[in-house]
Amino acid sequence: MIKNIILDFGHGGIDKNGKYTTAPAKMHTFSNGDVAYEGEINRQIGGMLALYLNAHRLRYNIVMTVNTYDPTDISLDKRVETANKYDANESILISIHSNASSPSGRGRGFEIFTTRGLTKSDQLATEIGVVIREFYKKQNLELRFDFEDNDLDKEANFQILRQSNCPAVLLECLFFDNLDDFKKLRDPEFQKELSWHIYRGVMNYLAKYGD
């Protein structure tokens, strides 16, 4: 039975002095002067997801590897250590990210990753991916799924996926270094809708596989 939902927000945030703690990586300055900070975007989307999930806090323990108000860019080792404190059979992990395609800045769309091979993570990825597909099609946004194996998820050797013991997925919500994608990512209404759809996917997974 799933008891723990672990949320991971990739990279750092902006501290009280206005410093982006992951600089100069995971940020992009556009020609119009706008600056995208991936870690801040991840916290905003993930924070809204946490709010939705907290409606079920009497049933599920909502865990964050880093709090949304904490700008620290904690290490991958620490993130994995936090996740692995919980029984793998009673936990799932969702890691929130935004992608980049520098120097071209032409990449667009949503991707969802699991570790290599057939695992329980594939089921979680499918449930989230199906709901996101519905939402992004309405938004005319690109979906970068891996259809070669009839799956929605792509497989990667990311540490947070490889070393976390429980089912884990990593979401690349859009490309923060593409101006059109960034306009969506920074829009509070889009963040709210996206987090709601991720939440729906998680709840669909729990309804099917959580007991």
* 37-87 confidence digits (pLDDT tens): 999 999 999 999 999 999 998 999 999 999 999 999 999 999 999 999 999
Domains of the chain are 4-209 (3.40.630.40)
- The side-by-side arrangement of strands in the sheet containing 4-9 is 61-64, 4-9, 91-99, 168-175, 111-114, 154-155
Task: For residues 157-178, give the mean pLDDT.
Answer: 97
**Is 91:6 a contact under the CB 8 Å cutoff?**
yes
**Is 131:204 a contact under the CB 8 Å cutoff?**
yes
Residue-level pLDDT at 149: 62
Name the strand (E) or helix (H) holding 127: helix 121-138
φ/ψ of 207, rounded to 5, equals -65, -35
* Average confidence score pLDDT of the chain: 95
Q: Which two tokens stand for residue 91?
A: 């936990």
Q: What is the pTM of this model?
A: 0.95
Task: For residues 186-211, give the mean pLDDT.
Answer: 96
Task: For residues 161-186, give the mean pLDDT.
Answer: 97
Residue-level pLDDT at 103: 79
* 119-164 confidence digits (pLDDT tens): 899 999 999 999 999 999 999 998 988 766 667 899 999 999 999 9
